[in-house]
Amino acid sequence: MTTDIHINKPVPIVSGKQLELFNHITDVKLAIKALEAGKPVLITAFYSNGLLLVKALQTHLKRKFPNKSFQEQREYRSEFHKLSNLILMEIVDHKLITKKSPSIGWLKKLYPETSDFLLPFTQVQGLNSSWQWYQNGISIPVLRNKVHPYYGTYFPTRFDHLILLDNWLKRYVGPKKSAMDVGIGCGVLSFQMIKHGFQKVFGTDINPNAIVGLTEFMGDTKLSRKIELDFGHLFGKWEKQTELIVFNPPWLPKSHNLDRNDKAIYYSENLFPDFFAEAKKRLLPEGRLVIMFSNLAQITNVTQEHPIEEELHGGGRFKLEKCLRKGVKAASDKTSRDLHWRSSEQVELWVLTNK
């Protein structure tokens, strides 16, 4: 089922042109000037030289964008993304050629047809982190077993909303023949529903990596017979009605053109109206629609609109059964971002039924 799906991955760069070279004795300011002029810079000698230049770039940009407000954080990230993508690493025979580089299995797994190419250093870092998560797995408090997220697949790093869902599923009374997980990611919500006795879960995702990764992860296990996957937007090919639909959408409205990774974080203006219209067709008369959300957009002043409240007030399709809320744990003191608003953030679990 996954043979016609093309995985999202960093695009290999084959450069015939002369590149600026960087090592620990190169003038950092000159290297940053080259980046700001749009010139690619190749890391040489040691892998740690890439870390050195990236750190210097971050320091440079933090002077320009003090990172105090939510908006400044966005501007800083945008500029950092643009310039850091010009810092390149060379790969030969599916291995990084700089000394003391990590061994990253994705280089062979994702690029079987290309053994020699260049990639941006920050994307190499992402591949390295992802490989560690994929190999070692990630413990999720509400699951017995670890998940092994495939490259480029969303996985939760915070668990408050998952705990809300787990507590709700424990108390769920009703048929458990089937459920739908819209935007399945690395499968956590589906695994929770299977754990709590649902016989069949139909999962969709617009991200091909989620579908390929979960197919590989489940293999020929019992899970593969209980969870069926489809690569598609919202409900994909699933037309039949079900007793439970679960949706953990992005929590912030978009303010720019989204790249594919942003789609797990920012929602477009059509996402919720389309979702509610399609959910109405697929929810059994006595079924429940469960949506996980947050007040993040309101408390950071991105918008005062709340898409679920808007649907309940004006959609005419659903009514509220209950809304559960849970305060979010304080931000890690290791983060450099100003997250003072985190103390007033709450995750929300909305349970809607048909009108």
State what percent of residues in the chain have pLDDT above 70.
Answer: 89
Would strands 117-120 and 227-231 be described as parallel, antiparallel, or unpaired?
unpaired
User: pLDDT confidence of 302, banded at 50, 70, 90?
Assistant: low
Give residue 16's pLDDT.
Answer: 67
> In 3-state terms, what secondary structure has residue 64?
helix
Whether residue 154 is predicted with pLDDT greater than 60 in this model: the reply is yes
Average pLDDT over residues 155-167: 92
* pLDDT of res. 75: 84
Model confidence pLDDT, tens digit, residues 245-277: 999 998 777 765 444 445 456 778 889 999 999
Range among 4-8, 10-14, 234-238, 297-301 rated most confident: 234-238
Distances (CA, A) of 122 to 19, 209, 229: 17, 19, 31
297, pLDDT greater than 80: no
* Mean pLDDT, residues 159-175 taken together: 94
Judge whether 137 and 146 are in contact, CB under 8 Å.
yes
Helices (H), the chain: 28-36, 48-64, 70-84, 106-109, 121-136, 160-171, 188-195, 208-218, 222-226, 271-282, 296-299, 307-314
* Nearest Cα to Cα of residue 91 among 60, 56, 55, 128: 128
Residue 142: CA atoms inside 13 Å, Cβ hemisphere, count? 25
Report the SS3 class of residue 79. helix
Average pLDDT, the chain: 88
Residues 6+ apart with CB under 8 A from 212: 2, 5, 7, 150
Chain length of the chain: 355
**If pLDDT is split at 50, 70 and 90, which confidence band does 333 have?**
very low
Above 60 in pLDDT, residue 222? yes
Dihedral-angle region of residue 351 (phi above 0 means left; psi in -120 to 50 means alpha; beta otherwise): beta
Amino acid symbol at 44:
T
Whole-Å CA distances, 197 to 100, 171, 172, 177: 48, 12, 10, 9
Nearest to 274 by CA among 282, 265, 284: 282
User: Across 59-63, 224-228, 325-329, which has the greatest mean pLDDT?
Assistant: 224-228
pLDDT at residue 240, rounded to an integer: 93
Q: Which of 210, 294, 197, 216 is nearest to 248 (CA)?
A: 294
β-sheet bridge partners, residue 241? none
Q: What percent of the chain has pLDDT over 90?
A: 72
Q: What is the mean pLDDT of residues 339-353?
A: 79
Helix, coil or strand: residue 148: coil
Which of the residue ranges 79-83, 262-266, 311-315 would you say has the lowest mean pLDDT? Answer: 262-266
Confidence of residue 2 (pLDDT cuts 50, 70, 90): very low
Q: Which residues pair with 322 in a beta bridge?
A: 351
Token pair of 98 as six digits: 């700089």
Contacts of 129 (CB under 8 A, 6+ apart): none
| Domains of the chain listed by start with CATH number | 20-134 (no CATH), 160-354 (3.40.50.150)
Residue 283 above 90 pLDDT?
A: yes
Task: Please determine, for residue 151, whether its predicted confidence score (pLDDT) is greater than 80.
Answer: yes
